[in-house]
Structure 1
Amino acid sequence: MAIMGSTFLSLADTNSSKVSQSFQIVGHFIASLLPLIYLFSVSSIFFDIVHYQLHQCTRSSHPFLRRLERIHHFHHLYYNRKMKFDQRYLRQNQFQALPLELGFQIIGSCLGYMLAVLVAPNAKAWITEVHLWALMGIQILRSTFVICTSGRDSNHLTYQRAPKDPNWIFVGPEFHCLHHVYPKRYMSSFIKCFDWVWGTASSLRTKRFVLTGGSGAFGQAMIAELRREGVQSIHTLKFGSDWNNNDFGGAISAFSRSDVLILAHGSKGQSAVESNCDSSVELVRLFKQHSQAKELHSTLPEVWYVGSEIELHPSWGNTELQRYSASKRKFLPHARSFFDDPEILYRHIVPSSFSSSMGCAIVSATWTAKVTMWWIHRGARYIPATYTGIAYLNYLKFMWWVPYGQQMPA
């Protein structure tokens, strides 16, 4: 028995030693990987900043900056605004634009290493020149591969129309192709950090808007914000003349001349369900059917719906609020379907209460509209225009609790 016990303990010690060695190997691997991730992140952010500046140098007074901008412009001529490849600029892209990008990436890696050493004198114990040379080697190999494949990497794919971007952190081909459609927007190359900070993850200037509820407080505030954006046109649909809860024929002609539909109408009265849910669903359906945005633009038509924090918090026994809450919550499954619908870009705006004809509140409709635009500039599709924080909690409900409506997204 003693022999068997000692044998068991010996086997246990051996297995424990193997487990310990495995953890050490994983630990060494992670310790080696983190410096590369740091250097790559700094390199990407540096490149994004330089990239943004290049697009501002079109009319620079300095000839060297104009020359750099022209070299980079070959990349946009090769993969153009229609998200197609123009073979006339293949060589300029391969041997001028791509090497220029590589040069900036390598400079960014070197700056990241120097920054770590200067800020933390003991950094060389964590990040070494080997890590720097390893990343530079990876960057050179990647750029060489892209050059050899005629500049057709994973971020440059041909599209008839820019698809919906499924990522909110990382840059993929769906996001990067928008940069080629709108060269002074969507600047990020790896993580969308630059666009979050500078608010360059949207472009509204060439868009044509149609809006319901334009006479309301939020509708008027949004019109003012859109005019500051310099959008192409804004058309308001008047309830009772252009449309009502039973007749939407007057809206169809406006939809054929619009790219973005904003549903800012609402009611707390007896017709709350018809106004806040049923009519909105029908308007979105007609907009999808009649909007010419698909033919005129390389981007998806958009729908912005103004929801409410009543989608989450209770109605406190108030009959009017109960009616309003029921109508807004009835629309949620449809909103969830629209959110994932590949044919439209749907934005769900969830504001806190603001001052309007429906009642007084702490903040104004102007504040709510400005917060809404702040989020849209950063590419948000769920927009918490809140001072209470309830809209942030409602995001969890909206994304993971609300079921799809009857019309499931393809």
Structure 2
Amino acid sequence: MQSADPEHFFETDAAQEKRQRRAAKAGNKYGDPILLKSKILAAVPDPRSPGSAVLVAESAGAVRLVNLNDPENLKTAYRGPTAPVCCVAVGGPGSGTLFAGSWDKNIWSWDLNSKAPGRKYVGHTDFVKALACATIGGKDLLISGGADKKIMVWDVATGARLHTLQDSAVNMLSIQDLVVDHASSTADEISLISASSDPHIRRWRIRLDKWEQVVEASPDAPGTDRRTILEHETTVYKLVLDHDGDDVDLWTSSGDGTAKCLSRLRNFACEDTFHHGDHVRAVAVTEQWVVTAGRDEDIKFWDRSSGNLYCSLVGHYDEVTDLVVLRDPSGSSQRICSVSIDGTVRTWPLDKAAVDAAVKEQEKPAEEGGKEVAGEGLLSPEEEAELAALMEDDDE
């Protein structure tokens, strides 16, 4: 019988120290952790309960509904893939279809309410790592990005692949994130923004019959064209469009240790930089805060008006992979949810007084004992190594 216990394998001193530190940290209750049995690679709000529930991508090969107001009820799961799920999205007719991209190179779908399996979209030749949904001319589209360096556009109803997008001039690496820029889209054409394991951010125009990469005059070098937005030094993991009236800024997080605000009014030039440190896997914004998280496990709150670090909240004991702002039906921001390789879903306050109270609580001396065992991942040692390679592919 093979063992998955890391103590049964050769480890460097640094690896042992890291494992022991995380084991000691695993029992904390900061952020009201909900413990799942596998690693969590992504999350999106549940459109049926956007203020209280998230849909998470699990390394165990499922998408799970997590009701943050009923943490004991984790029975709702959408199953089919036998490999880890990397990304999730909700769209399709009536926005009632759940999509999941997997290590198995396929995109799976289910009816969001009944959990009935739907169409499977087959075409990528490597992990599917990013998904987005859109509508053109009344037709529902699914857009996927993979480790095969390709962006594909699908007709949701028929499963037909309409387009395959690639940059022919600047080498595009593994796709990390996709976002539809609704402010620049029309009924007949969508504007898409992509991030990848290279530092370039690309923009695309997509119609039902054709697509093109946005190429425009360079704001920095008159007389030359600019094919990409280049404000980071390495992998761009996350793209967030923040709608503040008519001004829509693009927020990014990167393996260079920063999150940035790229101003549309300045042709997507960098307006603000937040030096989180280590790889920044996720960024989220509200009227008051910029929140960043990533490899160093901490949730950092930045004052949006001043750009200064306000506080760091601890809780996760492994890399944070995603952040989701939870908004009640009125549209106001109430909480932020974080998910992690440690298998926990945690929620944090956004009200300043509540954030201050959380900081004060964490400043208290840690109590001894009461250690909680972290949930065991469902991956073999070989798959653990493959997951580590997937998370490290920014080094391409």
Does the pair score TM above 0.5? no
Question: Under a length normalisation based on structure 2, what TM-score does the superposition of the two structures give?
Answer: 0.22
Larger Cα Rg: Structure 1 or Structure 2?
Answer: 1
| Larger helix fraction of residues | 1
Structure with a larger share of its residues in strand: 2
